[in-house]
Amino acid sequence: MSGTIADPEVLALATSSATLQSEYAPEELEWMGSPFAWIKSRPSRQVGTIGERLVAEWLAAKGFVVTSSPDSDADRLVNGHRAEIKFSTRWKSGIYKFQQLRDQNYAFAICLGISPFDAHCWVLPKAELRSRWEASISQEHEVEGIQPQHGGSDGRDTAWLTIDPLSPPAWLSKHGGRLAEAASFLEKNARRR
């Protein structure tokens, strides 16, 4: 099979495809050459697992003791502290959206966001996350980036956190942003047990 198109009908279709590409490809082009581009090609059911493994390997390389959680209420134990790991690649609008936050048994939610050539991380104590989430439920709208993920009374069991890494809500500043800041927060607040 050669790399040229001989059939005129296929050539016409390829020309139309090239025209449409400009509408759909800019995001893909942003990720070209990125060491994280391969993640964008994986099925969504694998992306969360990839994020968990990235966080686990990154923290282990920084000297944290990272082990599997004994149950499904947390993803990992970090220095013996239960951690839920949330992962997002940057959306076209420039934000990260950390989804499926639940009121489960964990001490911290570690939110890792990957852009084509950058990464951001926040380590959020569950108590603070839950308090802000409750405020969004009582006010029935997004509060400082947190909102119920689904509508109606049944939709209060999950939330999502939306963060623009260039302009995050002020409350997040003490919880990370840059990877080193998130690791420092975790180091201070998740000492080895």
Task: Give the pLDDT mean for 158-164.
Answer: 89
pLDDT digits (tens, 9 = 90+) for 176-187: 999 999 999 999
- What is the spatial distance between Cα 192 and Cα 170, in angstroms, rounded to a whole number? 29
In this prediction the pTM is 0.83
CA 157 from centroid of its chain's CA atoms: 19
- What is the spatial distance between Cα 193 and Cα 157, in angstroms, rounded to a whole number? 30
Q: Looking at domain 35-189, does it have CATH number 3.40.50.720?
A: no
Asked if residue 128 has pLDDT above 70, the reply is yes
pLDDT digits (tens, 9 = 90+) for 82-110: 999 999 999 989 999 999 898 899 999 99
Neighbouring C-alpha atoms within 13 Å toward the C-beta of 64: 28
Asked if residue 141 has pLDDT above 70, the reply is no
Dihedral (CA of 49, 50, 52, 57) sign: positive
Q: Can you give the residue ranges of every domain in the chain?
A: 35-189
Asked if residue 146 has pLDDT above 90, the reply is no
